[in-house]
Structure 1
Amino acid sequence: MAAFLKFTRSAQRALKAGESISEHGIIYTRLSNGDGRWSINVMVNRRRHHQVVGLESEGYTRTQAEDVIATLKASKRTAAHGVQGSRQTAALTVTQAADDYLAYLRTHDGRDVATKEMRFREHIKPHLGRRSIAKLTDDDWLGYVDARKKEGAAASTINRERSALLHLLNTMRRRKMLNTAPLLARQKEPQGKLVYLTPEESQRLLRAAEDDQSLLAHPFIMVTLYTGLRHTAALNLRARDVDVTRRILWIGHDKAGRREQPMPQILAAYLGEMVDGMAPDDYLFPSQRAKSGRAYQMNSIFARCVERAGISKHVTPHTMRHTAATNAAHAGLDAATIQAMGGWKTRAMAERYTHAASMRDAMDALQGRLTSSRVTRELHRPSKKSA
């Protein structure tokens, strides 16, 4: 591996906005906002590769830039030795590869297939569908990002589409249908504000749902409020998924995979009356107009209930997930329990709720400590009399 002399921490910190360091085909540039950008500019197999690797604020370092160059050179060696895979695989377009990938997931117990299918159908295929999957580059991805931003897509939305495309590429690599895959730079997401409903707002929303013209409004808010289930997971519930005795909901289709979702007694009793007389395969949220037989989404119904409840903050069905986790944290549950309850993939995602609850308890303790102490209400001002 080539030795690096220019890339030292002191040299990087000394760079001013717009200045760069270049060594062995790797470029580090100081941006106007103070962030650092890593990119490469190398010639491999008589082809110039000039692409952005990622930003320093997103965790990218020189190592990732070296990995990109190593991958490009490995791809050259593979092609030189004739181990390139079948012609059929190499000729696949992104659309054809996506169709094969989704079919593979359906027969191999893939997770969140419906959502992945939607992202490919509505966004990835229209923009990248005709490109060869074997020749897809980071420049192609940057062009996709630019097009999606012009359509008004948020960074978080683009990152979810990136995850779907990366999973396709990595799945093809595991199936030995691809040798290499581009990194696809992740978009930096702004720090979002954690929005949740207070207990009083939750009760107002439930009362508003009782008066709504849709019979699905109140059950949907009850389920999501008391379990924190994701929107789609709640709508996929059938009568057979409700175990009143064990107070368990069986979640067959969810982002976190199959799992058992616990529920409090008030919801178990509520759903017990609801499923009484229903066939096991009947959906809890049916729709005669939907081909699947269940409601596709509850956004409009939910928004109507929020407005009727007089809640002014921006609230969506996903807010109920934040509300359930926040209430659990305030009740004293630890991050591990909240993670298991909500089906989060990592502990860190659940810890943000326990952190917020801990800070609130700390502020209440501080207030109690201060108000219980004897504090002079009048400010002590220096005397106007001269000494």
Structure 2
Amino acid sequence: MSAFLKLVRPRMRALAAGESLSERGITYTRLANGDGRWSVNVMVNRRRHHQVVGLESEGYTRTQAEALVASLRATKRASAHGVAGSRHNAAQTVSQAADEYLQYLAGHDGRDLDTKARRFRDHLKPHLGQKQVARLTDDDWLAYVAKRKAEGASPATINRERSALLHMLNTMRRRKLLAAVPVLARQAEPEGKLVYLTPEESQRLLDAALVDQSPLAHPFVMVTLFTGLRHSAALNLRAGDVDADRRILWIREDKAGRREQPMPQILADYLAELVSGMEPEAFIFASPRAKSGRAYQMNAIFARCVKRAGIAKHCTPHTMRHTAATNAAHAGLDAATIQTMGGWKTRAMAERYTHAASMRDAMDALQGRLTSRPVTPELPRPVSKPA
């Protein structure tokens, strides 16, 4: 590279306040207080980067400005073919990368494959499939968010799709297939009300499920009520996954991965009788009409039982997960135990149940404190003076 002709000491010293010199995307500006400011203004990957490097009084020189420009252009060279190494010669589209990503997960014990595949197939590929995965930007993601909102998708749904996309990009980066991953802004989700069933409502739901026309209704309510299993994890249970002696369910497929799920004695006895005589690989929630051999979902059956039980709350199969965790918290279990029991990824997700239980105990204690001593039934009234 040839030497700089403009950004040299004699010319920089001759600048008056407010004057600047620019060369090769680097600008030196003389400020009103006599200090000098270094900044860069370059086009990289069809995007303009305008950034202040620092002040001369802080020790910044042309060297730091040159280093920043070199770094930005190096990122451009890496993203031109989409990889950090040499394992791919041509840039991949998001659609091509998704196919390879899902195949990779299938061969490496990936989690929640069906859900990830559905999100890519139904939403991410149709909208982003033709984009080059290495040139995916935050602006591309914002355009995707706008389209999904126009289709009626909620912020929570879009965030789940974002998680699938980010997991793919981060997996590619770990495998040295991608140089960098964009941020992809997360959508703000409204605070949801924690809905759970009281013990009395739970018993009514069990009674309603027992007389439902579907033979799967009662086992499903029993399993989810006494374990807090996720909807899909419960439906994937097979007869051989039940260890009634140890009071353990072996969970093969779940959002939290493979794990052992503890269960109380009442459910262990119930399932031991239910799977008696069944083949180990037989689904507990079998459905002859389903291609997979087991029920795909229980929403309609569950809603019918909720209605028959006379429960007015908005109650879905996931409500049983909240119910199990809330009851565990009221029984005195700590957040760490509840997290292990329910397979939550973080402690914070389990602490919201213990927090709710603690607040209820606190309010009971406050009521007991305030009502344990005599309380004047009527507030004192001021005595009116005669006119």
1:213-362 alignment runs, 5 A limit: 213-362=213-362
Q: How big is each residue's C-alpha offset from its partner over 1:324-373, in whole Å with a ceiling of 9 and x where there is no partner?
A: 00000000000010000000111110000000000000101111111111
Q: In structure 1, how many angstroms separate the alpha carbons of the residues matched to 2:82 and 2:272? A: 63
Does 1:206 find its partner at 2:206? yes
Alpha-carbon contact 1:90-1:132 (below 8 Å) kept: no
Q: In structure 1, how many angstroms separate the alpha carbons of the residues matched to 2:289 and 2:226? A: 28
Equivalenced residues, count: 330
Name the Cα RMSD after superposition.
2.4
Q: 1:306 to 1:46 in 2, by over 3 A?
A: closer
Larger Rg, first or second structure (1 or 2): 2
Alpha-carbon contact 2:326-2:357 (below 8 Å) kept: yes
Tell me the TM-score normalised to structure 2 length: 0.81
Q: How big is each residue's C-alpha offset from its partner over 1:259-283, in whole Å with a ceiling of 9 and x where there is no partner?
A: 1100001100110100000000000
Query: What SS class does the counterpart of residue 368 from structure 2 fall into?
Result: helix
Q: Post-superposition shift, 1:91?
A: 2.7
Q: Post-superposition shift, 1:385?
A: 2.8
Q: 1:83 to 1:247 in 2, by over 3 A?
A: closer
Q: In structure 2, how many angstroms separate the alpha carbons of the residues matched to 1:214 and 1:42? A: 68
Is there any run of 5+ residues in structure 1 with no aligned partner, and where? Answer: 1-23, 25-40, 51-68
**Residue type at the aligned position of 2:309:** A
Q: Which residue of 1 aligns with 2:148?
A: 148
Q: 1:75 to 1:379 in 2, by over 3 A?
A: same
Q: Which residue of 2 aligns with 1:128?
A: 128
Q: Post-superposition shift, 1:42?
A: 6.7
Q: Post-superposition shift, 1:48?
A: 2.3
Q: Post-superposition shift, 1:47?
A: 2.5
**Residue type at the aligned position of 1:44:** M
Q: Post-superposition shift, 1:142?
A: 0.6
Q: Which residue of 2 aligns with 1:190?
A: 190
Q: In structure 2, how many angstroms separate the alpha carbons of the residues matched to 1:81 and 1:125? A: 20
Q: 1:282 to 1:342 in 2, by over 3 A?
A: same
Q: Post-superposition shift, 1:82?
A: 11
Q: In structure 1, how many angstroms separate the alpha carbons of the residues matched to 2:218 and 2:80? A: 64
**Residue type at the aligned position of 1:122:** D
Query: What SS class does the counterpart of residue 161 from structure 1 fall into?
Result: helix
1:105-116 alignment runs, 5 A limit: 105-116=105-116
Q: Which residue of 2 aligns with 1:158?
A: 158
Q: Which residue of 2 aligns with 1:48?
A: 47
Tell me the TM-score normalised to structure 1 length: 0.81
Q: Which moved more, 1:221-230 or 1:132-141?
A: 132-141
Q: In structure 2, how many angstroms separate the alpha carbons of the residues matched to 1:261 and 1:79? A: 44
Alpha-carbon contact 2:328-2:338 (below 8 Å) kept: yes
Alpha-carbon contact 1:93-1:129 (below 8 Å) kept: yes
Q: In structure 2, how many angstroms separate the alpha carbons of the residues matched to 1:295 and 1:321? A: 19
Q: In structure 1, how many angstroms separate the alpha carbons of the residues matched to 2:384 and 2:70? A: 76
Q: Post-superposition shift, 1:80?
A: 9.0
**Residue type at the aligned position of 2:221:** I
Q: How big is each residue's C-alpha offset from its partner over 1:101-141, in whole Å with a ceiling of 9 and x where there is no partner?
A: 01100111111111111111111111111222122111111
Q: In structure 1, how many angstroms separate the alpha carbons of the residues matched to 2:239 and 2:184? A: 42
Q: Percent identity?
A: 75
Q: Which residue of 2 aligns with 1:369?
A: 369
Q: Post-superposition shift, 1:43?
A: 3.9
Q: Post-superposition shift, 1:85?
A: 4.5
Q: In structure 1, how many angstroms separate the alpha carbons of the residues matched to 2:82 and 2:279? A: 58
Q: In structure 2, how many angstroms separate the alpha carbons of the residues matched to 1:82 and 1:271? A: 52
Is there any run of 5+ residues in structure 2 with no aligned partner, and where? Answer: 1-25, 27-39, 50-68
Q: In structure 1, how many angstroms separate the alpha carbons of the residues matched to 2:156 and 2:81? A: 41
Q: 1:80 to 1:249 in 2, by over 3 A?
A: closer
Q: 1:82 to 1:272 in 2, by over 3 A?
A: closer
